Every structure is written in structure tokens, then in C-alpha cells.
Structure 1
């Protein structure tokens, strides 16, 4: 695969993302139509429930008069129709509602992942991994609850309540007014009671869930270190404490839910007794037929069953708002890099890299790199050497357009990086970092991240360049060998070489090697660094390291000391540079 093919493949990615977003946006009208359909089906299903009880009440009363059986066949058929219709319509309502909600949820999840791609890695430093995972899973899942557990129940209850009040009001106006009043209590008073008693707890649930997820993730990932320092008991106690806080909030929320349900039950009882109070005198006065008494008295029970779900629905609102705010914080977070509205075309090779007066940092106003200037001609090698915290990785993030710079210029092939699309820049500049992520899969799957369509011969060529091919060939499963989580089945050097093989497979003209020999002993580090530089022969290379660089290894050395470029090294083992 040549460079132009690789560039085209990378450059096509932004268009693909935008197309997906446009498709999702265009399909939102169809999703709303499905939600309207779900509301209609839910109203019909709830109407069947009310109709079933009302018709059954009339049928029982009429049967007590012992009319000819033929007079009861039609009402019996209506009862059967209501019973069957309730089940069928309820299933259809759940199907349509969940289909629409899950489609909207998928759109929201895509937006969240787009935001992650826009923010990563520099814009995500404030989030703990477990908390971020909770935002992207649990909090986004709650978006569907806003439709299914809040809006749909209220829409169905409003329609069914209006119809039921009209039905009872026609038979007994006074009973109809009582029913309307009790429905208002169920729709407003009961939810207000539930919300008032659980507002704080519901708002705390989403953040507490995020804290618990973050603590759990850290406990699992650091289990070995915790056990080694005998800190596992303390960490487990802290984890249990967070779980207890989350459970206590859920219990208090349950108490509030019960209070709301109690108010709804009292309102239903009041509706029944109110109907009895007004309907019985109406029957005695001849204003209401005796067979309709049971209809007036029992219909409120079915209606209040529909309204009984409104208090729990309203109680969800504070939790859903808190979850939505946590997701919105990610979606609307300011990107660490401002992409150009109309990107300039990617320059053609050779790719000369020039930095002039560069100032950059992770926190606005606190630059780690200050007044940095250097040149790396195409095909040459430069070493960026300095202690931890001097800005070496910051420089790599700037060159990869993962981090913006506050002053100065950085040009690639004579074109300012700020005028180029970030994905286009990363199709030219590749990073082999010290802690490159290795997925819990096979060697082949980890390699194909760089180029999914690579042939086996190309995979083997990349492994050979990284000095891994002989080792892979000696494995019983070869390329199909599982590497374990985070590459646990590989040594530190093998993980680094696998990361280099991915970079070689992607065929980047400019390669940044960020601390490639970190955590290795001096001899192994020198051998690995020499092999890595040999593998990227002919490319423009920036070697980022805190170790002294052997003479002849690179063409020039830039020393970072106190976040400022220095003239060179005093150590004899380091090539002097006038940078």
C-alpha cells in the first residue's frame, strides 16, 4: 500500500463521520414519528384496559338481571376484544417505543464517540476512566428513559384521562368532576411529593455511579500493586464505602417512590368513594340506570392504574437531568485543537518539519514549551532529550495535532499545521509511544489496526522490520497468538516492537518515537533503540527520550531543560547540536 493510498484512506474518514451524522440527523424525523406511533398505541392499549373494566362492570350488572343469553353475547365479544386488544397493542407500543428510543440512543452514542474522537487524548485528562465509561454507558442509556419512562407515560395518561373523565361525566357529572380532581392529584401532587422527597438522592445517583465505576476500575487495574503494598484491604473498604453511599441513595429514593405511590393510591380510593357518593343517589333518583352504577364506580380504578406510573416517571426527572448534564459536559467540552473550517490540502513530499517560537501547554496560560525553534529536514533524525516534565510528550502531541499551541508556528512541508485537517496530519506523522495500547486480541488483530486490508506478507514484513518475525514464527499459533489484556503475555520490549510494527505497517513518512525504551535496562534500551531506528530508515524521525543518545545515532539533538531548548549536551555520549 503506497503513501497516496494511505493518505486517501485516512482523509476519507472525516467525510464518513459527517455522513453518518447527517444520516442520523435526517432519520430523527422518522424516529419522532415512531414515538408518536408508540404514544398512540399506548393510548389505545390503556384505553382498552379502561374499556375492559367498564364493559365488564356493565356486563356483570346486566347479567344479574338474568336477560336472555343472546342479549349478552355482543357485550361478551366486546370484553374479549378489549382483552385481546390490550395485549396486542401493549406489545406493539413497547416495540415501537423501544425501537424509536434505541434509534435515538444510537444517534446520541455516535455523537458521544465523535466528541471523544475530537477531545482525545488531551481533552480527556480531567476524567477518570471509570467515570468516563459510566458517562458513555449508563448516563447515555438514561436518554432512552426520558422518552420511555417520562414523556410517553404522561402523553398516554393525558389522553386516557381526558377520555375517561368524559365517559364518567356523561353518566354522572358529579362523579366525573371527582374523577378529574383525583386525576389531577395523581398527575401533579403525587409526582411533586416524590420529587420533593428524592430530589437530592436522584441528582446524586449519576455522579455516585460514576465515582463507584471509577473506583472499581482503578481497584481492578491496580489489584497487583495494591496487594504488593498490602493496601488492598483499605482500597476494598473505600470501594465498599462508595457502594454503600450509592445503595443508600437508592434506598432513600425508594422511600420517596413509595410516598408518591401512596398519594396515588389515596387518590384512586377517593375517586371510587366519590363515585359511590354521587352515583348511588343518582340511581335512587332515577337519573342513572342501575346497570351503569358499577361502570361509574369501577372505571376510576382502571384510569388511576394508568396514572399510578406518573409519580415514578416524574421522580426520574432529576436523575435524568443529572445524567444529561454529565453527558453534555463531554459533548460540549472545548476541543484542545481548533480544526480549520476549510482545511488546506496536504502538502506533497518531502516533509520538512520546522518549528518557530513554539509555546504550548496542557493548561491555558501555563505553557510547558516556551520559545522553541528547530528544523528537521526530510529523511533526517533528531533526538528530543530532556528530563521528565520538560515537555517532550507535549511536543509530540502538538506535532500530531492532538494539542494546540498558543504561539509560534509549526510547518509540515512548508504548510502551517493549523491550516491542515488533524486526520490528514496524522496520516503523515505517526507515533510509536512508550505505552502504546495493546488490545486483548491476537498479534494479527493488533497489527491490522494500522491497515485492516493488509496482506499476510505485509504483516510479516512489518514484523521483520521490528525484529519480531523470528519470535512470531517460533510461536505455535504464529500471528493468531493471543497477547492478553494490555499485552500481558508479551515482554516490555516485545510490546514496544509490536507498536513499532504497527507504525511500519501504516507507512508513515514521519515517525515520532516517544520513550521507546522506557522501563528497560540500559543495555536492552540501547539495543531496542538501535533496532527501532534501523527499522524506520529513510523516514523523518523524532526520537523522544530522557536517556543520553549514542554518538552517530541521530543527526542532531535538541535538549529540553526547564521547558526551554538548550544548545546541546555536555555529556560526551551525546551528539552536540547548535539547535
Structure 2
């Protein structure tokens, strides 16, 4: 019930459109019943061969209800789908706004395919919540009152017969369908999500699957999920067919029961025979509103299952809370770390243990060490992807925790090992750093990153698509685009996280030339395995198991003959 109430609350901003669509739905059903009733009255009356003028009311009624039904149906479809699409847009924005603060710490436990499924399939499932769950019962309730009042004018007997069968179709049939399909809606959604997740993993890992000859196994797993999904769909289709048959049976029983009740009234003269067909056909027309109701519980189950999967994600508390007070003003861009310790989960070994350093504005600090030494953890904390509890990190004399993550990241440019490029043009990928940048700024950043000439040689220059994740470009080209993006952002603090990792020595040296230009005048922290070019660093921290094993300049560390010297010798054999 709680999840149902949350879904209804999500739809509250669009209640006016939904109410209008519901009323239009009632008018559509009413016009349909009116058309059948007026047609029956016209045909029955015409069989008695009265003067044409006596039939004019019926003729006008047929025309009116025929036209109004078409108009109301069009308006009902228009406004109901408009409300639905606005609702879906609202839900997507709401979900993304709730999802963004959770990245990346809280999203690490989800597979990418699972998140895609929740963002796409589950949100799409909620499209049914208004059209198939909320609107039909309201339309049916209004129709029940309208048809009951009409039939009651001719006698309470037909009215109560209609009431009995209408309620049976509106309540008993849905309960029977619910009993047959219990759990099917939720299981259908879960299976669809699992299949989507498997397909995304298959596509993303296509190279590894082929390289390790795992295609047959992957096809088998996808096939099993597909068969399960198809089986659930067949079961749902069977239930839908049964519900339609059951509703049709009750509708016809209601019509025949009213006929059997009304015929003696006509025989006794208590009811004009011209109205016999009117009562029967108005009853049939009124049942149009009840036909969708048997599937309401099935749609509720699917919608609530989808909603629970969405709520399970967004109900997680962000790893980095927003500070209660407004952001303080920075007095500079010097960076200081004191006694910083951090572990990713309680009971796990510390990724950082008592880290200390001071970096003045415009200073250059390199952090090196073997894998697992805590280098990337430092970057995660500086960007506030995770929150530290022990120690202190200050920028310009202000504690990092005093800044909202989004505000803090405006002052920082990042170049990582795995530069993500969207499947868009070179220009669009560069403008991510500064959407309002002009053409001159864009070209200057590309020239400084030594990528301009390459871009100009592409088929469409800066408007050339780079492909999914930038796979149309080489590793060095992707890194230079990342450097150009950082230059365009022009932030005073620069974080380099393995900016040259995975590149060949020649490309790596060229990229380092661009990196050196990028570091000029910026407070720079460079995380790296590659010790090439560290002679220009003001200080080098050599980390091991979360602690600082050595610190000093390049020449000093070589003279010490410690861990840094060993790493340097291994790279320069």
C-alpha cells in the first residue's frame, strides 16, 4: 500500500489532465451507450410506421451520439496519452535526479545492465499505472451511476440486475483473474529485467566472449531467460483472454436477464415495448466501461513490482551527504591533507592510513606506488565520490565536506585512464566541459592539447562522431581529447589519474607533453604508475598499502634507493 501511495503521489502534479481524461472516458462510454439506445429506439419506433416528425428526436439523438462518441474518444485518447507521456517524462527526470547523487559509491553494487533495465523497462511499465490501473475503475464507477439511474427510470428491477452483473464483472472477475495470475506480474518484470541485464552484459563483453569461446554458453543463458520470459508472456496472454471471455459472459448474461425481466413488463403493459431493445442495448453499452477491469490487478502487480525496483535504488542514502550550510568562499587553491584514513566498508582493511601532505597553489604532486596502494582512493575522496570520516582534506583553507559535491567539482578538472567519450561528435564531447564555450575557446584548447590537426583531418572535422565510448579513436587520441576537455574547463585544480596508462612509450611521451602544458599554473595531483617525466614534480609520494612509504623529489628518491628506486629500475631496464 505504501508503494501504491508513492506512485499516486508521483502523479499528483498531473491530476488535472488525468481528471479531464477520466471524464472524457466516461463521456465516451456514455455516448456509446446513448448511441446504442437511440438507435434501438429509432429502429423500434420506425417499425410502427409513425409520421417521420415523431422520429426526428431519435434521428438527432443517433447523429449526436455518433459524432460525440468519436469526438470524445479522440479527446480522451489525446489527453490520457498526453498525461501519460508527461508522467513518464516526470518519472524519468525524478529517477535521474535521485540517481545522480548516488553515483558512483551507491551504484557499485548494481550491474550496468540492471540499472539500464530499471531506467528503461521499469519506467515504461509505469505507463500502465494511469491508463490501466487508475482510470478504468473511475470511468466504471461513473458509468455505473449513470446507467443505473437511466434504467431505474423504467423500473428498479432492471436497474438492480444491471448493478449485480456490473459489480460481478468489476469485482468478482478481477479477483478470479488475480487468483489465477498471482505473482505473475512481478515475476514477468523481474525476468524482463534479468534478460535486459544479460543482453547488455553480452553486448558489452562481446570481445571477451568471442576471445574465450564462450558464445555457446552465453547464447544458452540468454535462450533460457528468453524461454522463461515467453512462457510468462503466454501465461499473461491466457489470463487476459480469460478475463475478456469472463467479462463478455457477464455482459451477455446481464443483457439476457434484463430482457427476461422486461418482457413480462411489456406483456402486462407496464413498459412500452418500444423501450425493450433500448434497455438491452444500453446495458451492453454500459459494460464497455467494465471490460478493462479484470486485468487491473495484473497491471497493479506489474506496476508495483517496477516501482519497488525503482524505489530500492533511489531510497539508498547517498554516500556523500549534502552539507547543511551554504558553500564557503574559497581563499585560494592550496590543497592540504591531514591524517586521512579511509576504508570502503566496515571491517575492510584501510585503503588509506594516516596520509599527510600540503600542496601550495600551483604546486605539483605525484602519487606513485604499486596497485592497491590507495592512489585511486585518494582521487575518489578528493572528488567526493566517497566521504571520509577520519582526518581532514581542505581546499583553499576550507574543509571539503563543507562543499556540495557538484559545487566542489566545478573547481576541479580530471583526466582519467579510462576517458569516457559519448557516441556523439568531437565538438559535443569537448563541450561537456564548458557547454557555453565559443569556437575560439574550443580551438585553443584543442591546439594546446595537440589534437587540433588530427581533428581537422577527420571527414567532418569537429562534427565527426567518435563512436560508442570513442572506439573510433586510438587510446592516445582519446587521452588528448580528455586533456583538451580539461583545458577548456580551465579549472584551478587538476587531478590526473593514470593519464598515460595503457599507451605505448612514444604516445605516452607525446601525451605527457600535453599534460605538462595542462599543469601550468594549476594545483596538480598526478596519480601514476609511469615514473617518466616526474622530474618536474615539486614532491612525489610513494605509497604502499595505504601509507606513505617515501616522499621527496625525483632525484632525492633515487638516491635513497628505496621502493621508488626499485620501481624506476624496473621501468628502465
Say if 2:443 and 2:452, in contact at 8 Å, map to a contact too.
yes
Partner in structure 1 of residue 565 of structure 2: 572
Partner in structure 2 of residue 142 of structure 1: 125
Normalised TM-score (structure 1): 0.90
Are 1:58 and 2:41 an aligned pair? Answer: yes
Normalised TM-score (structure 2): 0.91
Q: Which of 342, 345, 357 matches 1:374?
A: 357
Q: How does 1:431-442 map to 2 (within 5 A)?
A: 431-442=414-425
Provide structure 2 residue ranges, at least 5 long, that are not aligned to the other structure.
Answer: 1-8, 552-561, 569-573
Partner in structure 1 of residue 64 of structure 2: 81
How far apart are residue 309 of structure 1 and its match? 0.9
Say if 1:549 and 1:573, in contact at 8 Å, map to a contact too.
no
Q: Which of 418, 422, 426 matches 2:405?
A: 422
For the residues of structure 1 that align with 2:358 and 2:566, how far apart are their CA atoms?
22
Are 1:353 and 2:335 an aligned pair? Answer: yes
Partner in structure 1 of residue 145 of structure 2: 162
Provide structure 1 residue ranges, at least 5 long, that are not aligned to the other structure.
Answer: 1-25
For the residues of structure 1 that align with 2:193 and 2:277, how far apart are their CA atoms?
52
Which digits, 9 at most, give the CA deviation of each residue in 1:89-129, with x for residues without a partner? 11111222222232232222211121222122222112222
Say if 2:375 and 2:527, in contact at 8 Å, map to a contact too.
yes
Q: Which of 311, 328, 341 matches 1:328?
A: 311
How far apart are residue 344 of structure 1 and its match? 2.5
For the residues of structure 1 that align with 2:248 and 2:462, how far apart are their CA atoms?
65
How far apart are residue 168 of structure 1 and its match? 1.7
Q: How does 1:247-262 map to 2 (within 5 A)?
A: 247-262=230-245
For the residues of structure 2 that align with 1:556 and 1:279, how far apart are their CA atoms?
99
How far apart are residue 374 of structure 1 and its match? 2.0
Partner in structure 2 of residue 494 of structure 1: 477
SS in 2 for 1:371: strand
SS in 2 for 1:516: coil
Are 1:274 and 2:257 an aligned pair? Answer: yes
Say if 1:512 and 1:543, in contact at 8 Å, map to a contact too.
yes
SS in 1 for 2:565: coil
Say if 1:132 and 1:210, in contact at 8 Å, map to a contact too.
no
Q: Which of 222, 246, 251 matches 1:239?
A: 222
Say if 2:542 and 2:564, in contact at 8 Å, map to a contact too.
no
Are 1:451 and 2:434 an aligned pair? Answer: yes
For the residues of structure 1 that align with 2:10 and 2:118, how far apart are their CA atoms?
24
Q: How does 1:306-325 map to 2 (within 5 A)?
A: 306-325=289-308
For the residues of structure 2 that align with 1:417 and 1:154, how far apart are their CA atoms?
53
Say if 1:463 and 1:469, in contact at 8 Å, map to a contact too.
yes
How far apart are residue 28 of structure 1 and its match? 7.5
For the residues of structure 1 that align with 2:212 and 2:69, how far apart are their CA atoms?
62
For the residues of structure 1 that align with 2:23 and 2:392, how far apart are their CA atoms?
60
Which digits, 9 at most, give the CA deviation of each residue in 1:495-515, with x for residues without a partner? 111111100110011111111
Partner in structure 2 of residue 6 of structure 1: none
Q: Which of 102, 122, 132 matches 1:119?
A: 102
For the residues of structure 2 that align with 1:279 and 1:551, how far apart are their CA atoms?
99
SS in 2 for 1:80: helix
Partner in structure 1 of residue 274 of structure 2: 291
For the residues of structure 1 that align with 2:323 and 2:532, how far apart are their CA atoms?
37
How far apart are residue 523 of structure 1 and its match? 5.2
For the residues of structure 1 that align with 2:283 and 2:360, how far apart are their CA atoms?
84
For the residues of structure 1 that align with 2:532 and 2:523, how far apart are their CA atoms?
17
